[in-house]
Structure 1
């Protein structure tokens, strides 16, 4: 539903709501800076926002050079202004992305499609379609291991677990690096990492067993199975069928702040109840919008159908153990945080404001426990590859027994909504064609943990990767690329992609630091009260700890820096590794001091309170 218009100087694409424009211009220029300047002069010559940072991207898809410029906007503007300049020979193509934060998130799949499919005229993309892969012998597995060893070094990631499968047979399990920075204990095949959102696909496996038994239908309205299920919109509530719970296609946006800020004593029943405040911001089935609470509800409803007399969390844990983990031999895998942390586990890591990798605290990861069907599993490379093996064997165990019917395991891969170019989301699984090769995959992200699996279903080849760092994100896609390079003698791009991505990330972290005043100066301190509360996010207390100003939300805390914005406002930015860049703006509401926190599609207001106040939220 985007519209396209040809201005005299540019091709302009406009989002359906009108709050996002993408301009494409072809021109000649001496360099990227000149190309971007000329593009603005043609598209909007009166643009006043200052360039904040320009960083390089890997030159791929036929381009000889690619640079991305990000612009300085104020928090209250809620704008995204970004320019991509790509060169082929002497010719530049410039793409200006210009719109609201809400549109950038809601229409992210469309923006991704625009960016990833933009190629020089006449360029033919590299494709491995129809080619015979090399066997994954010891030498080629060593190439994958060597790649990961260099990649964790380049990205300053302490360790990673990984495993490899060929033709449905597991051919390697192991690890590289260490479980915790500064300690010698290595990562091995049984080291536990948080799988995060890779738990979603495991949860939909549980639903597949119920579909096999006739206890649910994929097209069955959820309210028939769980009558108290409610969203913030009655019409959408009635529309939601079982397969919609994990499809990212219902129009419900992320609403993560509420469970990240307020999770102490939250129950699984309250996790489902939180959906009652979640309202759609796009049409049903219209765009890809990821929602963790919906996936959480899917798992809990599945467990409830099996053990209706048990508390929701206990029912889910028992059902997953008996129906999924035990039959697959996933004996390391657990939802029990205490058990995981007592044993062979990798500690979470991230980079601080000064680009130094440090061990992170675990406390914010406890936020996922009440919502664990969406991301709470701890697993190892040894176990994770067995989950992927079941996918490769279409529901069969290695001994030939059918754990889940092929029809219902494959149902989870059916495209529900587009994610990008040749890429679709199913039910806790993504499908795509990467360099001409069909791929099934999914990622996972929690504080200090990043994971992914990639399965090539045509050959039964797959790889799983588990990392113990925020920067593990930069290894995920290159791992797929390296697998394809090894299998098909592809152009060696993966290692450079990691290196360039990390250069960009470090520059961006340096930019965040450069825009903060530390310690918080007196004029900014004067805008702060001592104690605040938000109806949705609970209590926030401002504390002095030595020279630092710390925002404490009870479940976790972070020091902050201050920034005076161009519109006269002052914002306070969290600088702990887990929350770097999260910004709250000083304001006044009803005559009281306030702090305003925004994600892309929501606004949360902390108002100052006097005295010691309990948490404001009444959980549903």
Structure 2
């Protein structure tokens, strides 16, 4: 057994060579008996992961953990022949989130002795001809069916042109209109790479330096302390390396499309790093939002921050690249040929997200440099081609210098084995060839861009379903399999993900009481207020109750936790499974919400 302890001292990971065992659950139990027998508990759910990296079988073993434990606990069982090796994580949920990249590095590099990882290095890239495109289409169609994804669009480019663009499925379930390459999707965090492209252009123009303190060009910028603020350079704004934790709840729950762009800087001023600069990968949307607004302000200091950014992006990025159907205007994006987002309900049935649930997606507007753009497959592939050609437009102009375009791909912090984060872009060299990419995730929209310089190939995948997340990495993998004649892994990855998603939802459904427990509902206050997240209004209905979250009323159930507490659990597709712990302390009625590293208390009115 090898035990790894996080620097915080409150989180451990163990790798245990168990040997022969009846199955994954038995192997995990044996591993706990050697690692921490006093902490062992019965398995709640065992789900398959696709066999790869030399393992004949991989299974994840999950355990029941009550919210107030603030604890992460899981085992992954790997089998080679008759012998099992088990990886265990146990400890603080906050540390688990902070050290997630390190955990991913360990897990992704765990392979059986003697196994050599597959590598495409030195392989000649095969052309994506009609036959391979047909194979890719078939893979997407079958994956969409397995995952319950109503619609998707994809496009492929070489260095000269888009040679294929296609829509699959429908724009909205229950309606016949098909997705096409000009259907609009929210591209979410794929906005980040384009926002850093704006910065690269400004560096070319001599208006910025990558290693310039942010306060030099935007004096109002500040983090939680003057010492921290003084360390932040332009390159740190989108590097995910500053130590600032993810802090999304405040913009999700307590902002609207009318919130001013300047709120980004208000929230950052109240945020402190939880790790050192360059120490770990911690994704922070507020910092990426600040990057875009700083760039926009430099171009148009006379305008309000949001308007300045929008105009700067049109002038410096969208316009020169030829992206005529890419916009930050929510109403424009959803006025015509657009793909409605979908999410599964508590019975794993894909469901359209209607206008009430769209408030979540509208809430990104004040922070749009981090993820507020809408685009199409035909438009987004032009941006991918611009990246592939290192800053050249389709008419041959060198719009952004290769030096500053490529600076955005320079490694800042590792995300996993041979995967590093730059500035709004990741570079994945896990398979021996560099693949530059970035994903995007908002409510009911999941997307990815893929750039394979060595194959002179770029790709885009856009989906209108939360389950599209499970398709993004397999899409990249399937593309590489076709180009480099790789082992067929992508199909198995999707099949395992589809089974896991359904199993996890079904297991959680077993613990839910729907309609909610009337005694619990009767004891609740009519509304609750958090200074950070705003107001939650409770409405009792004939068949239960709703809570107004993120500007929308959402149906709730109740869940009895093992530690004696009760949680209110959202059963609306938009926020399915989101829990609020019911607390009564000193006669005060409270609801408690948590993300990985923050706790928010709502006081009853």
What is residue 583 of structure 1 aligned with on the other side? 579
TM-score relative to the length of structure 2: 0.98
Q: In structure 1, what is the Cα distance between the partners aligned to 2:566 and 2:132?
A: 54
Q: Map 1:415-454 onto structure 2 (within 5 A).
A: 415-454=411-450
Q: Judge which range, 81-90 or 271-280, deviates more.
A: 271-280
Q: Map 1:478-489 onto structure 2 (within 5 A).
A: 478-489=474-485
Q: Are residue 317 (structure 1) and residue 310 (structure 2) matched?
A: yes
Q: Map 1:213-612 onto structure 2 (within 5 A).
A: 213-264=205-256, 265-361=258-354, 362-553=358-549, 555-589=551-585, 591-609=587-605
Structure 2 counterpart SS, 1:34: helix
CA displacement 1:556-595 (0-9 Å, x = unmatched): 2321111122222111111111211211111134531000
Structure 2 counterpart SS, 1:578: helix
Q: In structure 1, what is the Cα distance between the partners aligned to 2:181 and 2:470?
A: 21
Which residue of 19, 23, 33 corresponds with 2:10? 19
Residue 413 of structure 1 contacts residue 431 of structure 1 at CA under 8 Å; is this kept in 2? yes
Aligned residues: 600
Q: Judge which range, 227-236 or 113-122, deviates more.
A: 227-236
What is residue 38 of structure 1 aligned with on the other side? 30
Residue 57 of structure 2 contacts residue 80 of structure 2 at CA under 8 Å; is this kept in 1? yes
Residue 98 of structure 2 contacts residue 280 of structure 2 at CA under 8 Å; is this kept in 1? yes
Q: In structure 2, what is the Cα distance between the partners aligned to 1:553 and 1:474?
A: 26
Residue 449 of structure 1 contacts residue 470 of structure 1 at CA under 8 Å; is this kept in 2? yes
Q: In structure 2, what is the Cα distance between the partners aligned to 1:99 and 1:41?
A: 17
Structure 2 counterpart SS, 1:228: coil
CA displacement 1:149-207 (0-9 Å, x = unmatched): 11111111011111011345321112111111111111111111000000000000101
Structure 2 counterpart SS, 1:133: coil
**Which runs of 5 or more residues in structure 2 are unaligned?**
none
Q: In structure 2, what is the Cα distance between the partners aligned to 1:83 and 1:107?
A: 17
Structure 1 counterpart SS, 2:192: helix
**Which runs of 5 or more residues in structure 1 are unaligned?**
1-9, 610-620
**CA deviation after TM superposition for structure 1 residue 144, in Å:** 1.2
Q: In structure 2, what is the Cα distance between the partners aligned to 1:458 and 1:480?
A: 15
Distance 1:159 1:554, change over 3 A: closer
Residue 539 of structure 1 contacts residue 554 of structure 1 at CA under 8 Å; is this kept in 2? no
Q: In structure 1, what is the Cα distance between the partners aligned to 2:372 and 2:477?
A: 28
Q: In structure 2, what is the Cα distance between the partners aligned to 1:231 and 1:168?
A: 43
**CA deviation after TM superposition for structure 1 residue 554, in Å:** 6.2
Residue 236 of structure 1 contacts residue 250 of structure 1 at CA under 8 Å; is this kept in 2? no
Q: In structure 1, what is the Cα distance between the partners aligned to 2:26 and 2:334?
A: 53
What is residue 91 of structure 2 aligned with on the other side? 99
Q: In structure 1, what is the Cα distance between the partners aligned to 2:450 and 2:332?
A: 28
**CA deviation after TM superposition for structure 1 residue 553, in Å:** 3.4
**CA deviation after TM superposition for structure 1 residue 50, in Å:** 3.1
Q: In structure 1, what is the Cα distance between the partners aligned to 2:194 and 2:571?
A: 34
Structure 1 counterpart SS, 2:507: helix
Structure 2 counterpart SS, 1:395: coil
Q: In structure 2, what is the Cα distance between the partners aligned to 1:169 and 1:93?
A: 48
What is residue 181 of structure 1 aligned with on the other side? 173
RMSD: 1.1
Structure 2 counterpart SS, 1:67: strand
Q: Judge which range, 304-313 or 517-526, deviates more.
A: 517-526
Q: Judge which range, 589-598 or 412-421, deviates more.
A: 589-598
Residue 33 of structure 2 contacts residue 40 of structure 2 at CA under 8 Å; is this kept in 1? no
Q: In structure 2, what is the Cα distance between the partners aligned to 1:107 and 1:229?
A: 27
Q: In structure 1, what is the Cα distance between the partners aligned to 2:445 and 2:416?
A: 25
What is residue 144 of structure 1 aligned with on the other side? 136
CA displacement 1:200-226 (0-9 Å, x = unmatched): 000001011100011010000001110
What is residue 74 of structure 1 aligned with on the other side? 66
Residue 25 of structure 2 contacts residue 46 of structure 2 at CA under 8 Å; is this kept in 1? no
Residue 381 of structure 1 contacts residue 465 of structure 1 at CA under 8 Å; is this kept in 2? yes
Distance 1:554 1:71, change over 3 A: closer
**CA deviation after TM superposition for structure 1 residue 56, in Å:** 0.6
Q: In structure 2, what is the Cα distance between the partners aligned to 1:252 and 1:381?
A: 33
**CA deviation after TM superposition for structure 1 residue 237, in Å:** 0.8
Residue 321 of structure 2 contacts residue 394 of structure 2 at CA under 8 Å; is this kept in 1? no
Structure 2 counterpart SS, 1:559: strand
Q: In structure 2, what is the Cα distance between the partners aligned to 1:295 and 1:525?
A: 40
Residue 159 of structure 2 contacts residue 385 of structure 2 at CA under 8 Å; is this kept in 1? no
Q: In structure 2, what is the Cα distance between the partners aligned to 1:11 and 1:434?
A: 24
**CA deviation after TM superposition for structure 1 residue 523, in Å:** 2.7
TM-score relative to the length of structure 1: 0.95
**CA deviation after TM superposition for structure 1 residue 399, in Å:** 1.8
Runs of 4+ in structure 1 deviating by more than 4 angstroms, as ranges, are none
